[in-house]
Amino acid sequence: MNNSNPVSPVQEFEYKAEMKQLLDLIVHSLYTHPEIFLRELISNASDALAKVRFGALTDQTLTEGDSDLGIRITIDPEELTFVIEDNGIGMTEEELITNLGTVAKSGTLGFMQALKEQQKELDGNLIGQFGVGFYSVFMVTDEVTVETRSAKTDSEGYRWKSAGQGTYTIEKIDKPGRGTKIFFKLKEESKEFAEEYRVEHIIKKYSNFVDFPIRLGDKQVNSMTALWQRSKSELKDEEVNEFYKFIANDFQDPLDYLHVSVEGMVSFKALLFLPKEAPMDLLYRQSELENRGPQLYVKKVMIQHECRDLLPEYLRFIGGVVDTEDLSLNVSREIVQSSPVMSKIRQILTGKILGWFETLAKEQPEKFRTFYKAFGPIVKIGLNTDFTNRDKLIELLRFESTKTAEEEYVTLKEYIGRMQEDQKEIYYHSGSNRSQLLAHPNLEYFQDKGIEVLLLSDPVDVFVIPSISEYEKKPLKSIEKADIDFSAEKKAGSESLPENLLQPVLGLFREKLGDRIEDVVESHRLVTSPVTLVSGKDALDSQMERMMKMMQTEMPAGKKILEVNTAHPIIRNLSGMYMANAANPLISIVIEQLYDGALLHEGGLDSTTAFLSRMNDLIEAATLQR
Ligand code: ADP
Ligand code: MG
């Protein structure tokens, strides 16, 4: 066939800098499980086969002449050669360059470096999650050849070759059929991967559920069972766990799984999984949820790898398979999206999943805790988006409180159950962490009276909890809101300043702080602290304010109310000082310092320089020899 172009040129390409670093990381850090190279190559072949099978539903010419889809592996223990071949979708020259020459997911290199710096075990188990699986082959070989031809009509064959260093080459070749053939010579230290029993074992371990035959020599190795089609009683945990690890690219067993079989208005079967931990990319970017979802099958054929329309966003960390007979095989993505069948399935699945969480909470509290720790922040989003299931979601909420130990949780129901007799509201306090929350002056009154306060330290809380205005007729209230009724707490006159001394002190604060604050009032909530800041009735919670500031959302700075504990020695002394000499310069230093101290508790003190220099003035005054 050597006609117009007798000598096909070999073009050399250079990897982008990021790619080089990534390859270096992979080859030098991922050596702990070299066997996963095989899982990754099989998974790519299986993806390529699924693509061509799906494409052929609407364009039969794609698989014409070769419709027996599968993967073939050939090894030679003498020569140490390894060949894996598929008749899947293949790649064009351009696809070769983009798919094998660049990192597809932005940020991948960053994630991997961060992990390595944290001394996390950067072993091969993680590699599939990063979309760089192909390169794991460089753990077992020094040079790889990929020969491929796209299934598109009039495509030509190409050979891609690289030693995983700085460059790769591409040349045009004659390749009779569509698909991809990858081959290489194993390094001496990796010669085990040319042994049949070893390779068979690895395929069974990682790739048993690939739904195309994997042939090693002339033997089919994988079982290809559609587990979700079985009845629940026929499922064995061990098998189900293996299946999960395969489809989710996870190396740990799932935390729990749910089998669903529905017949009626719509019919479908599902096998869904809760991971033990939030996957890496979700940890870094919650927006990843948008494009996730279980796999969608129609009559055992995979239609979509990540089908977002099966679950509401706040549940899309759940993986697995949903298989229905109520869609036609050659549906397009758009049709899937708008199909009433899908919305019915989503509605039923959401109900089943929330019921599953509830059962876990009741029957396996330890598992539920693990789940809640990993995914609670995501599930909570549902409170603001899924109003149909809001009540169920509220029941799932868990909080630390002033009466729980760290990492122990209380539900709203439990809170109500142990509320004090005359308590009319549910109190919460939000901030960035438990110890800071517990040290806050606003908590003093509640601690003193033994009133339980929920401690909200999950950043999501400030966006969702204020939207629950009440639970079982008890209003939820932030303890920093100024209109909490402390009237029963009027302290005995002997301790507080009498009215004629009180007003001048409050006036002093008002005059000094001016329009930095909304007002200055006498406090009934403070026990050991001299002053504190609280929000006015309609103001934003200060944690919320901080979040908005972090996200650089435009908003007017909300003014706070300063509450003054007139029973506190500092305030009493200040009053005396003022009476004796209204011009004493220490007076304004003390007021500024008290105000800044209150800001510090809120996490709202911007400049520490002035704070420290005033502190030194005060120390100087305190150490003055009299
Ligand atoms: P991922 O599979 O997560 O996309 P990989 O590094 O494993 O990342 O593969 C990169 C890309 O190379 C794949 O997305 C695919 O487009 C292409 N590719 C790899 N192997 C094959 C194959 N056997 N057939 C067709 N395309 C392939
Ligand atoms: Mg892959």
Domain at 227-373: CATH code:
3.30.230.80
Assess whether pLDDT exceeds 90 at residue 350: yes
User: What was the pLDDT predicted at 531?
Assistant: 94
Residue holding tokens 């809760």? 274
User: What was the pLDDT predicted at 129?
Assistant: 61
State the pTM of this model.
0.71
Please choose, from the candidates 578, 584, 589, the residue with its C-alpha nearest in 3D space to the C-alpha of residue 506: 578
Question: Is the minimum distance from the CB of 26 to ligand 1 under 6 angstroms?
Answer: no
The region, left, alpha or beta by phi > 0 then psi within -120 to 50, assigned to residue 23 is alpha
Averaged pLDDT score across all residues of the chain: 87
- Judge whether 600 and 541 are in contact, CB under 8 Å: no
Smallest CA separation from ligand 1 atom 27, residue: 44
Most confident of 118-122, 327-331, 503-507: 503-507
Burial of 369 (0-12, 13-18, 19+ CB in 10 A): middle
Question: Is the minimum distance from the CB of 286 to ligand 1 under 6 angstroms?
Answer: no
Residue 48 Cα, ligand 1 centroid: separation in angstroms? 8
Residue 223 Cα, ligand 1 centroid: separation in angstroms? 23
Assess whether pLDDT exceeds 70 at residue 548: no
From 85, 106, 134, 160, mutation site for ligand 1 pocket: most ligand atoms within 8 A of C-beta: 134
Who wins on pLDDT, 269 or 279? Answer: 269
Please choose, from the candidates 622, 562, 552, 611, the residue with its C-alpha nearest in 3D space to the C-alpha of residue 586: 622
Residue holding tokens 């308590």? 423
Q: Which residues pair with 320 in a beta bridge?
A: 272
User: What was the pLDDT predicted at 521?
Assistant: 92
The radius of gyration of the chain from alpha carbons, rounded to an integer in Å, stands at 33
- Judge whether 224 and 49 are in contact, CB under 8 Å: no
Assess whether pLDDT exceeds 90 at residue 40: no
| Ranges of each domain in the chain | 11-220, 227-373, 480-626
Please choose, from the candidates 472, 460, 476, the residue with its C-alpha nearest in 3D space to the C-alpha of residue 426: 476
User: What was the pLDDT predicted at 95?
Assistant: 95
CATH architecture of 480-626: Up-down Bundle (1.20)
Class of domain 11-220: alpha beta
Q: How confident is the model at residue 128 (pLDDT cuts 50, 70, 90)?
A: low
Smallest CA separation from ligand 1 atom 11, residue: 99
Question: Is the minimum distance from the CB of 44 to ligand 1 under 6 angstroms?
Answer: yes
Q: Which residues pair with 259 in a beta bridge?
A: 271
Residue 182 Cα, ligand 1 centroid: separation in angstroms? 12
Q: What is the pLDDT of residues 489-504, one digit of tens each?
A: 555 444 778 888 889 9
